[in-house]
Amino acid sequence: MYDLLLAKERKIAVIGLGYVGLPIALEFANKFSVVGFDINQERIERMQQSIDPSREISPEDFEGKEICFTSSGDDLRQAHFFVIAVPTPVDAYKVPDLKPLQKASELVGKALKKGDFVVFESTVYPGCTEDDCLPLLEEHSGLKVGQDFKIGYSPERINPGDKNRALPDILKIVSGSDTEALEEIAAVYGSVIRAGVYKAPTIKVAEAAKVIENTQRDLNISLMNELAIIFDRMDIDTQEVIKAAGTKWNFLRFYPGLVGGHCIGVDPYYLLHKSRQLGYDPQVINSGRRINDAMPAFVAKKLVQMLIQKGKNPQSVRVLVMGITFKENVADIRNSKVADLVKELMQYSVHVHIVDPHASPNEVAHEYNLTLVDNPSNRYDAVVVAVAHDEYQELGNDYFTAICQPDAILMDLKGLYPNQNQHLTYWRL
């Protein structure tokens, strides 16, 4: 398959052109002929104009690539090597929502031919590729894995907003349904990944490796969040504690914060779901998730307590929240815990303004029914800096003094401004 793709006698199709799919599609298009598929026609039209709807990739990165963008499932029949990179979210009850993955599997199944390859990149629980997706491929194609086609799993490792680690510079895990599948998939990915590939022995190992990457980070951050809650009651600066503890060579520097996004805040629920299906209720993973999900409520309650201590009625104050994307310097607002923080404050009848130079006002309104303001006003009773966008890094005393009332509160959730003047009451996680 690799040789045929290299000779452009076969095509690669990438299904799902979001933060994961579009970068890998464009990278493949440097060497291969690519069909980029997404169900969102509006997104397709923007990509046809060399515009990344996620605002992660510049127009120049579209140039010189052999790629056709489409929302027509019929165009997938041209391809013989399929990469599925659709979202794997959780629902309102924190249960994995496999519908996008299932629909993508059905779509690819209808385009599948003898000799084809299908590789999944979406983050899932171990066993999902073979137990949930493979049957759909076989059902809709009338073909059998091993006998007629091959499958594999190569977990995405895209880090949105990270300009120092481009896709080709991140080691890629690959796996296959048999030895031939593994070698061919490794060759295809290895041709565009400068950092090389790691061949996992089985698909389940590759799936598990991906899901525990973010579960491990989730747990480490949850420990820091719990410590922040404890130290806050003791009037101890958590950041100073971490700095002091970090003088020991084997201390791991994790920091407290709001854990959102479509990876760390979601992936552990996939592992929890599968584990419970098997009759085991994980204690540590579940506890970490519970702590991190509760942080917006903790921060909101702390701010309201501080306002009341200053003799202010929460119903009469104005609070500015700076940043609503799930992390710094990205436009992605999915699973934003800042949105949860804003809604927690609104439960106390606090009047909240939100600003963010990266987020789309339309997306924020659609996703959370919240409104972004174009520019901050003045005379805020409190400012919550929730996301460490570059635009916020250089702000200081003069800026916050200008937009706040005397003796206002600055809540610095990212620890950006430790040296504030006496005109502000400073608090950080």
Active site (catalytic) residues = 263
What DSSP string runs through 251-294?
----------TTTTTTHHHHHHHHHHHTT---HHHHHHHHHHHT
Please count the CA atoms within 13 angstroms of the CA of 292 that sit on its side-chain side: 30
Beta-strand relationship, 172-176 and 150-153: antiparallel
DSSP SS3 for 123: coil
Q: Is 109 exposed, middle or buried (0-12, 13-18, 19+ CB in 10 A)?
A: buried
Residue type, 371: T
Whole-number Å distance between alpha carbons of 84 and 128: 13
Residue type, 49: Q
Task: Confirm if 17 and 28 have CB atoms less than 8 A apart.
Answer: no
Beta-sheet strand order (sheet of 12-15): 67-70, 34-37, 12-15, 81-84, 117-120, 150-153, 172-176, 197-199
Whole-number Å distance between alpha carbons of 86 and 82: 12
Whole-number Å distance between alpha carbons of 358 and 365: 14
Whole-number Å distance between alpha carbons of 393 and 385: 10
- Token pair listed for 246: 């970090």
**Strand runs (DSSP E) across 164-260, as ranges?**
172-176, 197-199
Q: In which element (H, E) is residue 305 found?
A: helix 295-309
Task: Confirm if 344 and 297 have CB atoms less than 8 A apart.
Answer: yes
Task: Confirm if 75 and 112 have CB atoms less than 8 A apart.
Answer: no
The four Cα atoms 90, 261, 203, 136 give a dihedral, to 10 degrees, of: 40
Nearest by Cα to 260 from 347, 352, 340, 330: 340
Whole-number Å distance between alpha carbons of 18 and 16: 6
Q: In which element (H, E) is residue 100 found?
A: helix 99-111
- Token pair listed for 373: 């303001």
